[in-house]
Structure 1
């Protein structure tokens, strides 16, 4: 096994492990906070999150990603990227804090201006740490990143619960985030401080690749931001804070289980694809495997949740959040398409096919705006429907471009897509059967949810095992198969004795 392959496997293990732990912590912390805070509070914070997330794209400018993507990275590139990110982060935070009253009026939520102003501080730390994360990802230091990530969520989550319990209201979701980001920035700085020097004079002409790639990546990220958040912006502007809070919780709940696992995989695979861009056959093979794996994973998780949404909401959030169920049911159908697009888009980023991504995002954004315009009369449910339809359209366009750019074998794409559809259909009916059975047995929502999760897990595991040879490769598959056979044979001999 090569050193790089070994590093990739180790990185994947750590990122998946941390993502699972982070997902469990996030769900647990969210369940506690949902009982301590009101939908209105979540609505105000959702507005601030949108504003900060949007400003964050300008602050980061794709610099961290450019450090990962560039083949020949020099110390001058690192010094420039970190210094540039720090400077623009500080300036952006000041500007956003000054304009926060005007921004809050645009959302017709004047109470949100102090939240936006406070959270603008996070831009200083986020811009700095995002570039350092890019450098650490390039060095495949995912074990360190994973440990820090777990620590951050644990710290901010416990801090939020304590503040909410003490009656701090909206600030229990604000200050823990800011303080945890500050601490994480310090940790990252201490880890890589020997790798860079701050520049007091910068030559922009010498950093053409980083700025060019970063600016294109930022434009795509902004378009993707609107594609993913225009629904929340629209609801925040034209509906109540309570409705926005319901929608925000439903959206996060729909995406969190799949995102917990898949984001960790894509974070590892981006530097892998960047290094494989000159080995096209290996690149195609890896892309097909990744598409199938992420498709199966996201489809089984999301579609398996659909019949069980009532139990999920009651167990995690409580009865005050039952109005979010219709929205959640619709958004869950968008999840698989969104993550399959992420697997395809990853290869576009690694090979610098950013122009095509821009075109796709513009088309999708126009479709989303039209959809929200026509479905606005149905309230947040109509907005969720428009978002789901736009994600399906984006997936179809990405698939077309992917086939055209990389000349992927059509039979593999068709076979993989068919498997994903079959897996989704199977897991839906199995989950539905588990819900009906639990209802007839008059089980508690918690016990019912446990049965539903276990049933869906078995279906997902079955499809992964069916494709084990594809995912592992012939040689690794046969080695694993031999180990299992020897283990079973030895275990059988011991039982006979």
Structure 2
């Protein structure tokens, strides 16, 4: 009986896709472990702080590519409109990505002045090059996700991770500093183009057209707002600490956050990448949607709860052993960040459920309110140092996210709510 129940929990298309993505994340973590150890032993706290700023800039820029917004629209689109949506999305991606490229070149110097670190200018300018390559693979990637062929996405992740981490380790050992994390981003982006073009036949249209662009922008615009607010929350602690407590404090905090949240996030990504297309397949069937949502939620948390508990509990042992004694000060921060992954994961499920049934405006409004609460909490906590900031991250997520999630589930699954939402 127990064996049959376990088989039921860990079977089906969702778990198959999770298996592919989980395998990719496992390989990524193995490759990344060598990189993290190398950087921890070769980088100073200041260099970690500079790295945090560069990654923050790139993450914010990624939001404006509308990768999630346009990609989500392609995944959700009806079959008869798919070609038009894909072709128009291609040109929209080019307009957005080229604009981001120019904007980063213009902002590189002001950002370096803000942080008092002139060495940030050229790495930020160089990282802008990846946005001239993105439009070539974003549509293919979304179409593959729509078809639930996440093993192709997993292949891309494994190949890029292997090459990028190898380059990072080599450059770090050669004393290249922050360039050890910038060059791999640029040099490995073509891997996505090669693999995704190999596994999907869609090709860029020859004729320029923006047919139905308003529909795409309306759907993606709300998700752009959500993604932007999420990035504000993901990085506002870096901004507050870097500006208020200095680059060394930011470096310690970033190490703890990356070592704690980074590992857990890889596990979460395996589930959440598979979730949205899995739910969209049954968006017109309220009962099937309900079954898939709660089944996926149960399967996800049956794995991540023990994983996060183990990671947080063993932190005092593996941090000094693997990363070095100089990072032991960051262990309490790492533990708090690990625990915050649980409510964060639930919020992703909530967002995907609302987006599946077209309620992106609700997602946007909630994220706006929550971001204000989150930012205010951190501004208060920073007075007591980086540990208090980490505690503020955990506290705000534990209090706000479950309440909204329960409300959103009740709203979507109440009688006739789905049919109204899709009209």
Query: Normalized against structure 2, the TM-score is what?
Result: 0.89
- Which is bigger in relative contact order (C-alpha 8 A, separation at least 6)? 2
Shift of 1:200: 4.7
- 1:339-418 matches, within 5 Å, as 339-407=345-413
1:299 to 305, 308, 317: 305
The alpha-carbon distance between structure 1 residues 375 and 262, as it changes in their structure 2 partners (threshold 3 A), is: closer
3-state SS of 2:205 partner: coil
What is the alpha-carbon distance in structure 2 between the residues aligned to residue 186 and residue 86 of structure 1?
18
The alpha-carbon distance between structure 1 residues 67 and 164, as it changes in their structure 2 partners (threshold 3 A), is: same
Q: Which residue of 1 aligns with 2:210?
A: 203
1:259 to 259, 265, 270: 265
Q: Which residue of 2 aligns with 1:154?
A: 162
2:96 to 88, 93, 96: 88
- 1:67-78 matches, within 5 Å, as 67-72=74-79, 73-78=81-86
What is the alpha-carbon root mean square deviation over aligned residues? 2.2
Shift of 1:336: 0.8
* Residues 8-62 of structure 1: per-residue CA shift (max 9 Å, x gap): 5543332222122222222232122321222221210110111111121112362
What is the alpha-carbon distance in structure 2 between the residues aligned to residue 127 and residue 315 of structure 1?
42
* Residues 324-355 of structure 1: per-residue CA shift (max 9 Å, x gap): 11211221221111112212222112112112
Q: Which residue of 2 aligns with 1:495?
A: none
What is the alpha-carbon distance in structure 2 between the residues aligned to residue 408 and residue 130 of structure 1?
35
What is the alpha-carbon distance in structure 2 between the residues aligned to residue 122 and residue 98 of structure 1?
16
2:292 to 262, 265, 286: 286
The alpha-carbon distance between structure 1 residues 401 and 199, as it changes in their structure 2 partners (threshold 3 A), is: farther
Shift of 1:6: 6.6
2:65 to 40, 49, 59: 59
The alpha-carbon distance between structure 1 residues 186 and 309, as it changes in their structure 2 partners (threshold 3 A), is: same
Q: Which residue of 2 aligns with 1:181?
A: 189
What is the alpha-carbon distance in structure 1 between the residues aligned to residue 190 and residue 246 of structure 2?
32
Q: Which residue of 2 aligns with 1:442?
A: none
3-state SS of 2:137 partner: helix
| Matched positions, count | 403
Shift of 1:161: 0.8
Would the aligned equivalents of 2:17 and 2:151 in 1 still touch at CA under 8 Å? yes
**Larger mean Cα displacement after TM superposition, 67-76 or 345-354:** 67-76
What is the alpha-carbon distance in structure 2 between the residues aligned to residue 326 and residue 125 of structure 1?
40
What is the alpha-carbon distance in structure 2 between the residues aligned to residue 122 and residue 325 of structure 1?
34
Shift of 1:316: 2.7
What is the alpha-carbon distance in structure 1 between the residues aligned to residue 170 and residue 120 of structure 2?
22
Would the aligned equivalents of 2:226 and 2:367 in 1 still touch at CA under 8 Å? yes
2:108 to 71, 81, 100: 100
Would the aligned equivalents of 2:93 and 2:135 in 1 still touch at CA under 8 Å? yes
Would the aligned equivalents of 1:60 and 1:131 in 2 still touch at CA under 8 Å? no
| Bigger radius of gyration among the two | 1
Would the aligned equivalents of 1:255 and 1:335 in 2 still touch at CA under 8 Å? yes
Would the aligned equivalents of 1:48 and 1:112 in 2 still touch at CA under 8 Å? yes
Q: Which residue of 2 aligns with 1:122?
A: 130
What is the alpha-carbon distance in structure 1 between the residues aligned to residue 321 and residue 243 of structure 2?
30
The alpha-carbon distance between structure 1 residues 123 and 315, as it changes in their structure 2 partners (threshold 3 A), is: farther
Would the aligned equivalents of 1:254 and 1:331 in 2 still touch at CA under 8 Å? yes
Q: Which residue of 2 aligns with 1:249?
A: 255
* 1:218 pairs with 2:224: yes
Q: Which residue of 2 aligns with 1:232?
A: 238
Would the aligned equivalents of 2:14 and 2:296 in 1 still touch at CA under 8 Å? no
What is the alpha-carbon distance in structure 1 between the residues aligned to residue 251 and residue 367 of structure 2?
27
Q: Which residue of 1 aligns with 2:283?
A: 277
Shift of 1:199: 4.7
Would the aligned equivalents of 1:156 and 1:180 in 2 still touch at CA under 8 Å? yes
Would the aligned equivalents of 1:334 and 1:392 in 2 still touch at CA under 8 Å? yes
3-state SS of 2:101 partner: helix
Shift of 1:298: 2.6
Shift of 1:191: 3.9
What is the alpha-carbon distance in structure 1 between the residues aligned to residue 153 and residue 375 of structure 2?
37
3-state SS of 1:169 partner: coil
The alpha-carbon distance between structure 1 residues 325 and 9, as it changes in their structure 2 partners (threshold 3 A), is: closer
* 1:332 pairs with 2:338: yes
Shift of 1:128: 4.2
